[in-house]
Structure 1
Amino acid sequence: MQYTQQCAGTPKKGYASCNALRVTGGTTAFQEEQAAKKGTAPQSVRPNAAADSPTGYGPSDLQSAYGLASAASSNGSGKTIAIVDAYDDPNAESDLAAYRSNYGLSACTSSNGCFSKVAQDGSANLPTADSGWAGEISLDLDMASAICPNCNITLVEANSSSMDDLGTAVNEAVSLGATSVSNSYGGSEDPSDTTYDSEYFNHPGVAITVSAGDSGYGAEYPATSQYVTAVGGTSLSTSSNSRGWTESVWNTSSTEGTGSGCSAYDPKPSWQTDSGCSNRMEADVSAVADPATGVSVYDSYGTSSNWNTYGGTSASSPIIAGVYALAGTPGSSDYPAQYPYNKAGTSALNDVTSGSNGTCSPSYFCTAGTGYDGPTGWGTPEGISAFSAS
């Protein structure tokens, strides 16, 4: 089967959509979609957003929020984070250079060996360019850079957004030596997901992170794969508390917010012990995703402005992939999704205890509380120890 799939919107069966909720000129993708259906102009959430300068969180903000400043300055050399997306972003390398230069990060280019871009078969025969997925790619590359500035980055571009092509790109990323692989896409669950598990996501010794989704309560694949770290989304704000930051479940509306839920098909991994879901429960951990408390991204391909503020669990997945890279190489037989469970309830994670992303039963499937919950998992990073093998 072949379908034409855009970056935003509901994916066709067997295809994935990217999860970025873009704030471009002050609107999110959800608002633009709803306005188009009504034949009206979208309402702006950031009417004064500047087009020529960043307005969202940058690397120092994210490193501060998640206790990563020390690790980010000294760790990551020799580690490779792979970013898996569909289609080509022709400006990926130059846009990444602009982002890193603006924030004083060291250059990460193909000429110095830090950055590489390949097709899903590892070749230079890149797929067709797509402006929607180019925005997603920019977001992913910038967040990996923000968290692990010393890491190498490999962008693997799938030929399409089919699960087979994206999964093939994951396999290629692993074969190229990545110890962290970020996936910012997802779609509805299907009985064939367990087959995809074994074909594309069963990679012990590699931290594979996946966005939990941006449509509110409800499980998505491949976040529900038993072999990956499912990453939920939060709203992140500065605070006068001792941490300096506070977080709650990201929930913009009934149809826009972090995903979570109990898988209909994927079995529960041995390290996940919540009692309300007999199958795989989503999510495991979380990070900032609310476009209203979004991150700055430099994206020049097919956009009217270069600096934009982005949100979505497309931001949180590469953030967590970066944390895994800072934490070191996973054990060769380990599934790193287990690591945060080993530190559950400790100061290594910021427990997110407020907010919800829908209506559900039992309540922890969609409502934050003390300890584990679906929307935010065990919480957000406080340093790297919850993402380490030791």
Structure 2
Amino acid sequence: MRTTPPRWRRLGTAFTATAALALAGLGTAAHANAAAPSPTATWTATPCATPKHQGELACDSFRVTGGLTAFQKQRAARDGITPKAADASTPSGYGPSDLQSAYGLTSAAASKGSGETIAIVDAYDDPNAAADLAKYRSYYGLPSCTTSNGCFKKVSQTGSTTSLPSADSGWAEEESLDLDMASAVCPNCNILLVEATSATMANLGKAVNEAVTLGAKYVSNSYGGSESSSDTSYDSSYFNHPGVAITVSAGDSAYGAEYPAASKYVTAVGGTALSTSSNSRGWTESVWKTSSTEGTGSGCSSYDAKPTWQTDTGCTKRTISDVAAVADPATGVSVYDSYGVTAGWYTFGGTSASSPIIASVYALAGTPSSSSYPAKFPYTAAGTSALNDVTSGNNGSCSPSYLCTAGSGYDGPTGWGTPEGTAAFTG
């Protein structure tokens, strides 16, 4: 039986973006001018961050509930108009063009991904998933992705399109986030949503297997919980799929390991704060940390063996993470959701955002060979040289320090870094 992760005790706590913005490096003149008169963003963990039943896992997402996000402040500085705080009528987070620009994917997103299927694995049903996905894609001018044109498909963990799990508004928010991130990064990809009957590892694991059975070569998992002695058996039952890129959120409770991010067969995805910059890239990133209990996960697994391609010496077993992408709610992403909330635009953060982003980058990179383990790809010489090395910020205190503090090369919170094109995600 899994014990209750610290993350599950955070529901209902609102956080201010002030500390996160400082860590994100949002100190340019434009940001300073825009931020001075504006309320800082606040957010809360989504309802699925507290399991409905004992033994269930939690999702790794936060929803901004007030104030202005970094995105809004950047636009205010550019346009000279300060937007309203917590206004669901218009997007208030980063959209597809922002994410594609930040991660060097603009040309790839426009030309690649056709015929590839990204699977999103979550628990419970989102009755409005197809409609909300259509709203997001229409607003941003992305290609239509519907059930009727064969681009979008929603099934249960058994593959049924009619016998679906019970609906849950908290997990519906998570599903909207995941579907929108897959759309933003790989607009030409097909999307398969596999809904587990509940948020237990057994049911979520069966959903992973079903996704692979249905042909997905990229499977995103935005959930996790405390490690247990059963994890190695879960590895072999649910995550050992050669030729399939399986991504997992590293967690949102700051320094510390969780499962299934600790599985040696998956790509563990950490989180960053992302902001615009005057540098040559046009963007800058640091480790996402809001407080001692909120930030990207990282650390040493207690049970999972170290994969052969991981050579750091601070952990005798598996080290988390491998790569990273934006996760800080203060620099969050735009999502459209209508089930259980006022229908509209919301800003989300958490490593629930970074996992589907990285799964989608794998999809843009092309189908992995049938015998490969794509978690290895960023560790190759070609891979490490094709990533944005995140060198500032931390998610706590630890020894050795690289497990919780960013630096040149590999570190726990961000792995080898964030995407700069697709070269690091192909074998």
Pairwise TM-score range, normalised by the shorter structure? over 0.9
Instruction: In structure 1, give the amino acid aligned to 2:181.
Output: M
Query: Could you say which residue in structure 2 is the equivalent of 1:328?
Result: 366
Do structure 1's residue 74 and structure 2's residue 115 form an aligned pair?
Answer: no
Query: Could you say which residue in structure 1 is the equivalent of 2:420?
Result: 382
Query: Could you say which residue in structure 2 is the equivalent of 1:197?
Result: 235
* Moved >2 Å (runs of 4+): 1-6, 9-15, 24-28, 343-347
Per-residue deviation, 1:8: 1.5
Query: Could you say which residue in structure 2 is the equivalent of 1:249?
Result: 287
Deviates more, 1:212-221 or 1:4-13: 4-13
Query: Could you say which residue in structure 2 is the equivalent of 1:362?
Result: 400
Query: Could you say which residue in structure 2 is the equivalent of 1:319?
Result: 357
Change (3 A) 1:2 1:61: closer
Per-residue deviation, 1:14: 4.0
Do structure 1's residue 60 and structure 2's residue 97 form an aligned pair?
Answer: yes
Size of the aligned set, in residue pairs, is: 372
CA–CA distance in 1 between the matches of 2:113 and 2:312? 33
Instruction: In structure 2, give the amino acid aligned to 1:226.
Output: K
Do structure 1's residue 20 and structure 2's residue 61 form an aligned pair?
Answer: yes
Alignment of 1:150-229 (within 5 A): 150-229=188-267
Cα deviations across residues 77-129 of structure 1 (Å, max 9, x unaligned)?
Answer: 00000000000000000000000000000100000000000000001210000
Secondary structure in 2 aligned to 1:123? coil
CA–CA distance in 2 between the matches of 1:264 and 1:281? 10
Selected match of 2:147 from 110, 113, 137: 110
Per-residue deviation, 1:23: 1.1
Query: Could you say which residue in structure 2 is the equivalent of 1:36?
Result: none
Q: Is the CA contact 2:264–2:307 (under 8 Å) kept in the aligned structure 1?
A: yes
CA–CA distance in 2 between the matches of 1:19 and 1:328? 27
Do structure 1's residue 122 and structure 2's residue 159 form an aligned pair?
Answer: yes
CA–CA distance in 2 between the matches of 1:361 and 1:176? 43
CA–CA distance in 2 between the matches of 1:130 and 1:94? 16
CA–CA distance in 1 between the matches of 2:336 and 2:60? 17
CA–CA distance in 1 between the matches of 2:148 and 2:181? 21
CA–CA distance in 2 between the matches of 1:253 and 1:135? 23
Cα deviations across residues 141-173 of structure 1 (Å, max 9, x unaligned)?
Answer: 000000000000000000000000000000000
Gaps of at least 5 residues in structure 2 are 9-46, 70-82
CA–CA distance in 1 between the matches of 2:54 and 2:379? 32
Change (3 A) 1:58 1:285: same
Secondary structure in 1 aligned to 2:413? coil
Q: Is the CA contact 2:377–2:383 (under 8 Å) kept in the aligned structure 1?
A: no
Cα deviations across residues 196-220 of structure 1 (Å, max 9, x unaligned)?
Answer: 0000000000000000000000000
Alignment of 1:263-342 (within 5 A): 263-342=301-380
Alignment of 1:93-104 (within 5 A): 93-104=130-141
Query: Could you say which residue in structure 2 is the equivalent of 1:9?
Result: 50
Change (3 A) 1:346 1:18: closer
Q: Is the CA contact 1:100–1:106 (under 8 Å) kept in the aligned structure 2?
A: yes
Instruction: In structure 1, give the amino acid aligned to 2:192.
Output: T
CA–CA distance in 2 between the matches of 1:11 and 1:195? 24
Secondary structure in 1 aligned to 2:192? strand
Do structure 1's residue 87 and structure 2's residue 124 form an aligned pair?
Answer: yes
CA–CA distance in 2 between the matches of 1:57 and 1:74? 21
CA–CA distance in 1 between the matches of 2:3 and 2:84? 36
Cα deviations across residues 205-243 of structure 1 (Å, max 9, x unaligned)?
Answer: 000000000000000000000000000000000000000
Identity %: 75
Change (3 A) 1:345 1:130: closer
Change (3 A) 1:93 1:26: farther
Deviates more, 1:327-336 or 1:343-352: 343-352
Per-residue deviation, 1:13: 6.5
Deviates more, 1:335-344 or 1:178-187: 335-344
Per-residue deviation, 1:256: 0.6
Secondary structure in 2 aligned to 1:265? coil
CA–CA distance in 2 between the matches of 1:363 and 1:295? 29
Per-residue deviation, 1:305: 4.4
Per-residue deviation, 1:24: 3.3
Change (3 A) 1:26 1:303: farther
TM-score normalised by the chain length of structure 2: 0.84
Secondary structure in 2 aligned to 1:317? helix
Per-residue deviation, 1:306: 1.3
CA–CA distance in 1 between the matches of 2:349 and 2:144? 25
Secondary structure in 2 aligned to 1:24? strand
CA–CA distance in 2 between the matches of 1:61 and 1:158? 31
Q: Is the CA contact 2:383–2:423 (under 8 Å) kept in the aligned structure 1?
A: no
CA–CA distance in 2 between the matches of 1:357 and 1:11? 28
Q: Is the CA contact 1:209–1:317 (under 8 Å) kept in the aligned structure 2?
A: yes
